[in-house]
Amino acid sequence: MADEVTLYADGRSPFVCRVKIALNLKGIEYKNIEEDLENKSVDLLKYNHVYKKVPVLVHNGIPILESLVILEYIHDCIPALYKVFERNGDEQVILEACEQLQILEDELRLKGNNFFGEDNINLVDIAADFIAYWLLLLEEATQIKVVTTSKFPNITEWANRFVNCQAIKEVLPPRAIMLAYYKKRFLKI
């Protein structure tokens, strides 16, 4: 099953255009929904109820707002890590994902900190929550291992500290539910 990517857009917007360029350059298929900004759709208001603006990228039901944040998300998340599981552990895709993970591994190793924000969780740690929780669940569900303790010891330790922080544990979705979801989604591929 492929990723579901939808872009709520207004083709006149330079901010929307930059997102479309990034999606096209990465070869990511998406559904484009042009919005009438004088009469905004229910979905746009649902996904961006605070600012009520475009662009809004919705990836598998999760909205990402603001064009620069969307660009970072497209660059970092969609291509590398999800493709590992969509392509059943294709070696080339795993190598690409490992190259990106190595950057984070090196950052943690060089600084010697518990978190990217030194000894406290900061925005970089929160932005990398996919790696700390969801990626490890994907690996378990599909039996495709990307993050090993031997290859990425600092990421492994960081992920363990991150998910065991009380403020994080309180909001993570239940493990069993996520495992069942990922098994259903990715084992069909």
Q: Is residue 19 within 8 Å of residue 67, measured between CB atoms?
A: yes
The span from the CA of 74 to the CA of 158, in Å, is 23
Helix/strand/coil for 72: helix
**Tens of pLDDT along the chain (189 residues)?**
357 899 999 988 888 988 898 887 777 889 999 999 999 999 999 999 888 999 999 988 888 888 888 877 776 655 566 677 777 778 888 888 888 788 788 888 888 889 877 788 876 787 778 888 888 898 999 999 999 999 999 999 999 999 999 888 888 889 999 899 888 888 765
115: three-class secondary structure by DSSP: strand
What domains sit in the chain, N to C, each tagged with a CATH number?
A: 5-76 (3.40.30.10), 78-186 (1.20.1050.10)
Q: List the one residue out of 183, 98, 107 whose CA is nearest residue 139.
A: 183
Residue 51 in tokens: 């600012």
3-class DSSP state of 53:
coil
* Paired tokens of 185: 């989604």
